[in-house]
Amino acid sequence: MMTDLRTFVLLAGMTALFIVVGQVLGGHNGMVLALIMAVALNFWAYWNSDKMVLRMHHAYEVGPREAPEYHAVVNELVRRAQLPMPRVYIMDDPSPNAFATGRDPEHAAVAATTGLLRILNREELAGVMAHELAHVQNRDILISTITATFAGAITTLANMAQWGALFGMGRSNEEEGGGGGGLGGILMMLLAPVAAMLIQMAVSRSREYGADARGAEICGNPLWLASALDKLDAGSRRLLMGSAQANPASSHLFIVNPLSGGALAGLFSTHPPMEERIHRLQQMARGA
């Protein structure tokens, strides 16, 4: 029930933001068109956003023959967590990372990069996959995936305003009862992506701590996940993930931040500090 309420509030909030962007960029006509697009996107995102995210990161499904150890680890963990078996995907990318997606546990998928599968041992892999299955069990994945879809759409909407391609910004917004003319458009090009990122932050940081804790319980040893996070953090800093750089609106889905460093990335990070995550897992292992 609480998850359903959170999903409804998220959809309503993202829809309102979408409409405000349309209003500022194109006045009354822009607001109406944005409302229509938002309603359509709500329905589409619920049923198809997971497929879109998997395609966005060029993930392909694998079975026990293609990835026997990876598949076996996931299969063992779902039995321990009493979850349905998710679809298992691989992303061809040297940067080590992973995410889960889907609208519910019965329609879930987990995805890991080739870089992750290369550098982690079986125990560390179990820790990471247990973390992702914790997101599935906690029903975080629908909210996270829909947020990625809306945030990407809002960012695209604001960027298109630069060319006046969507709402006819060449005409005076004031004549249409609009939202501030060219200055409003410029402001929205800057502020809409920021607003979308802030919403991502609101739904992402606390859920990572929860998934770490539950993931440690599922795999049976908090130190397996702590060791994996340490390796993933170092590896993701050294090797940038190309698909995440091209689609930053989905960065909150990943177990570690896939975006490049710098002041701006730190300001809008959707992940809690790695040192704190590892510290909490070490305290779990000590029974503190």
Can you tell me the distance from the alpha carbon of 118 to that of 195, in angstroms, rounded to the nearest whole number? 36
- 113 beta partners: 91
Residues in the chain: 288
Spell out the SS3 assignment of 181-194.
HHHHHHHHHHHHHH
User: How many percent of the chain have pLDDT more than 70?
Assistant: 70
Tell which residue, 133, 119, 136, has the closest CA to residue 232.
119
Query: Would you say 77 and 218 are in contact if contact means Cβ atoms under 8 Å apart?
Result: yes
Residue 3 pLDDT greater than 60, yes or no: no
Tell which residue, 166, 162, 85, 80, has the closest CA to residue 127.
80
Can you tell me the distance from the alpha carbon of 208 to that of 205, in angstroms, rounded to the nearest whole number? 6
Can you tell me the distance from the alpha carbon of 204 to that of 99, in angstroms, rounded to the nearest whole number? 13
Which one of 69, 132, 175, 217 is the catalytic residue?
132
**Phi first, then psi: what are they for 266, rounded to 5°?**
-65, -40
Residue 47 pLDDT greater than 70, yes or no: yes
Q: What is the pLDDT of residues 177-220, one digit of tens each?
A: 444 455 555 656 666 666 666 666 666 677 899 999 999 999 99
Residue that wins the pLDDT comparison between 210 and 250 = 210
**pLDDT range class, residue 123, cuts 50, 70, 90:** very high
**Identity of residue 237:** R
**Phi first, then psi: what are they for 252, rounded to 5°?**
-70, -15
Tokens of 58: 């060029």
Q: Give SS3 for 250.
A: helix
Neighbours of 277 (CB within 10 A): 24
Q: Where are the alpha helices (DSSP H) in the chain?
A: 2-56, 68-81, 114-119, 122-137, 141-160, 181-219, 222-238, 242-246, 263-267, 274-286
What mean pLDDT, rounded, does the chain reach? Answer: 81
Residue 19 pLDDT greater than 90, yes or no: no
**Identity of residue 248:** P
Compute CA distances 9 → 6, 12, 33, 47, 145, whole Å.
Answer: 5, 5, 22, 18, 15
**Residue-number span of the structural domain to which 117 is assigned:** 2-286
Compute CA distances 219 → 60, 90, 129, 179, whole Å.
Answer: 25, 21, 8, 53
Number of domains the chain is built from: 1
Query: Would you say 228 and 126 are in contact if contact means Cβ atoms under 8 Å apart?
Result: no
pTM confidence score: 0.78
- 90 beta partners: 60, 112
Is 106 a known active-site residue?
no
